[in-house]
Chain A
């Protein structure tokens, strides 16, 4: 129960922050990406502040905590290799982000504010995720089969 409440609070804070930073406005995101046009650099401060706060917090957690408050261990990513899926995935994501001005966090947060505008994007995003999972599962089975 405590695990769920903490996750709920984290989601709430995250979404609140996106709204306060105005990062949930696709036009603002595109304005930030439009370096050749009327560039709006404000969103760089969102990313900067987020990375500074989480960087300091993560360092403190690593130094002071052996395990999380409500769970038995930390689930940290362990991979370090820079491989083709990472590179191709990031490129495809960048194209999609630039086309719509939406990434997954703001898209979900917007479902509660302007569902009629954002649901096609969210539905397509879930379909894209599912499509990749299916392809990855087929590829893994083929590798195991010989």
Chain B
């Protein structure tokens, strides 16, 4: 294959920022959940995986740590194929800390986050997860509305 064509393909891949990237990335996330369930019999809920580490059952911590290490390596690995993703942190430090506390406390209390309820829960057809997803989507939309258009407007 001529070098120019190869370069063109690479540039095309790095520009997968829109719908194709979203579908491809989403399918990979779904596949990750399928792999974890088929191989280890576990649900790929990030907060559940972290939460289980705070009170580990004997022999239970290994797969959780292995998953989290994979989580750390996946994004840098994608940089090799798709270039450096743009990352913009909009929240100030105090807001970031309050948000982190709410996310940690809320996902622990509600037994799930975007991956646990949002991907795995909906895939299982769980009513609990559907309720949680509708609620956290609604409050997240409302929060952004207040921050951007009421307070910040």
Contacts and interface: CB of A to CB of B under 8 A. Distances in A.
Interface of A: 2-27, 30, 33-37, 42-43, 45-55, 57-58, 61, 65, 67-77, 79-82, 85-105, 107-114, 117-118, 120-133, 136
B71 A3 contact: no
Contacts of A3: 39-40, 62-63, 66
A94 B35 contact: no
A19 B122 CA distance: 22
A94 B140 contact: yes
Contact of B44 (A12, A14, A86, A100): A14
Given A30-B90, A120-B100, A20 B119 contact: no
Main secondary structure of the interface of B (DSSP, over half): helix
B99 A102 contact: yes
Nearest to A53: B30
Interface of B: 16-19, 21-44, 46-47, 50-51, 54-55, 62-64, 66-79, 82, 85-91, 93, 95-111, 113-115, 117-128, 131-133, 135-145, 147-149
Given A18-B25, A105-B113, A129 B32 contact: no
A129 B105 contact: yes
Contacts of B121: 77
A74 B37 CA distance: 7
Contact of B135 (A10, A15, A27, A94): A94
B149 A58 contact: no
B148 to A, nearest CB: 6
